[in-house]
Amino acid sequence: MRIITHTCPACGTIVAANELEDNRVMKCPGLDCQEVLHFEDLPENAREHFLENRDRYQI
Amino acid sequence: MKGVLLSGGTGSRLRPITHTGPKQLVPVANKPVLEYAIEDLKEAGITEIGVILGNKGREEIQELLGDGSKYEVDITYIVQGNPLGLAHAAGCAQDFVGDDDFVMYLGDNILKSGVTELVESFEAGDYGAGIALQEVENPQAFGIADVDDQGNVTELIEKPDEPPTNLALIGMYVFSPAVFDAIDDLEPSWRGELEITDAIQALLEDDYEIDSHVVTGWWKDTGKPEDILEANRLVLEDTELNTAGVVEDGAETNGRIGLADSAVIKDGAVVRGPVSIAENTTVKSGTYIGPYTSIGANSTLEGIHIENSVVIGDSEITANGRIVDSLLGRKANVESAENHLPEGRRLVVGENSQLKL
């Protein structure tokens, strides 16, 4: 299963795509980081893959 | 070599303690379980550590560990979110790990012997992975590894009816970056998770050699209250304890006692080690603290008899009774019901609490 992540450009915290997709727009979960992360920050092919296989990233 | 420290999970077996915090921060001998893992990794020469965060306790864990500088390590946080399995957690760490090998350490586990020997054994060969094993008496209840004469793993079997060995996987692993290709090819198991044992099995099928290291000292998964008490006992037995605080004249102390420099054992109190008492805690007259007990910070004990127990901290325990084999959460207070009518116990008990009266 392809595991997709995104790295916050401000603090380096790595966030799994399922977390980004759940929130779409979210404050970076890094403590005291003010960066706003978007699901759209992921490359287009990663977003497409995730959305096509969305059920597999849910528990 | 890097470290990946798993700190997710719901901690459901440790409720109600984990209603208000992650299980990895429950203290054993007055130190959060997670700190033992950081120390073990550092002792093995690993100073770049990725900490995997789940949905619970993200802020608390980051507040405790910070950027790692107080432990002289460098910490990167990796937010897994949904608990999609250990292999998913490892996969989330791929960008952090890069082309390095890495140790994967379950953050709610404590090992007497640390991970240095596991790492050295892995580095002595050309392995796709290394796994820590321990001999168990009931192998039917565990994931079991079969190994050849050289200690190389030949097969992993989950809870076998006829186990080929009594060597159980204990949740400590070393991986080469080859594991990421194996994870890419995995499918979720029947429970919807990417299983790390499936990834190791895939490495075996791709002809990678898998090292094994049999852990001889104790190992505890601290997932349940009784495990916390057992881990506390094991750590207090093995740890050097320093009495830095004040033991007043007239206090009776025996055995090894860890007493923080701002803690006080008052005249008329009795403490028998091994015991750990944290900062700003006062043990007043008429109190007995027995072996294998840890009392957290900012607590007051008066008149109570307590042994083989863990008090997490910020507690007032002033009842005139006996507490044994108990785990008390932060800010839990135990007072006397004497002079209250009608006679009887008065409880304010949270969801999932367990009382034996």
| Rounded CA separation B57/B332 (Å) | 20
Query: Does the residue B36 lie in any domain?
Result: yes
- We report the CATH number of the domain holding residue B158 as 3.90.550.10
Task: Tell me the average pLDDT across B240-246.
Answer: 92
Interface residue of A3, A22, A33, A53 to substitute, partner B, most B CBs within 10 Å: A3
Residue B156 resides in a domain: yes
**Which residue of A lies nearest to B199 if distances are taken between CA atoms?**
A1
- Diameter of chain A measured on Cα atoms: 33
- Closest residue of B to A7, CA-based? B95
Which positions in chain B have a beta carbon within 8 angstroms of at least one beta carbon in chain A? 50, 53, 58-59, 62-63, 76-84, 88, 91-96, 183-184, 186-188, 192-194
pLDDT in tens, B326-357: 999 889 888 888 888 888 888 888 888 888 88
Number of domains in chain B: 2
Q: What is the token pair recorded at B4?
A: 């990946």
At B248-301, the pLDDT tens digits run 999 999 999 999 999 999 999 999 999 999 999 999 999 999 999 999 999 999
ipTM for the complex shown: 0.94
- For residue B341, the model assigns a pLDDT of 87
**Can you point out the beta strands (E) in B37-182?**
48-53, 74-79, 102-106, 109-111, 129-135, 143-147, 153-158, 167-175
The burial class, CB within 10 Å (0-12 / 13-18 / 19+), for B64 is: middle
B190/B299 same-domain check: no
Each residue's pLDDT expressed in tens, for chain A with a length of 59 residues:
889 999 999 999 999 998 898 878 899 999 999 999 999 999 998 888 888 888 777 76
- Asked if A15 reaches chain B (Cβ–Cβ under 8 Å), the answer is yes
Q: Tell me if B343 is assigned to some domain.
A: no
Q: Which of B187-201, B204-218, B229-243 has the lowest mean pLDDT?
A: B187-201
**Average pLDDT in chain B:** 92
Tell me what percent of the residues of chain B surpass a pLDDT of 70.
100
- Contact yes or no for A5 and B95 at CB 8 A: yes
Residue B2 pairs in a beta bridge with: B102
One domain for residues B28 and B141: yes
CATH number at residue B262: 2.160.10.10
Contact A30 B94 (CB under 8 A): no
Do residues B196 and B310 both lie within one domain? Answer: no
Contact B313, B299 (CB under 8 A): yes
Please write the tens of the pLDDT for every residue from B64-95. Answer: 999 999 999 999 999 998 888 999 999 999 99
Whether residues B247 and B301 share a domain: the answer is: yes
Whether residue B84 is found in the same domain as residue B44 = yes
Domain that holds residue B143: 2-223
pLDDT at B9 over 80: no
B306 and B263 co-located in one domain: yes
pLDDT of residue A59: 62
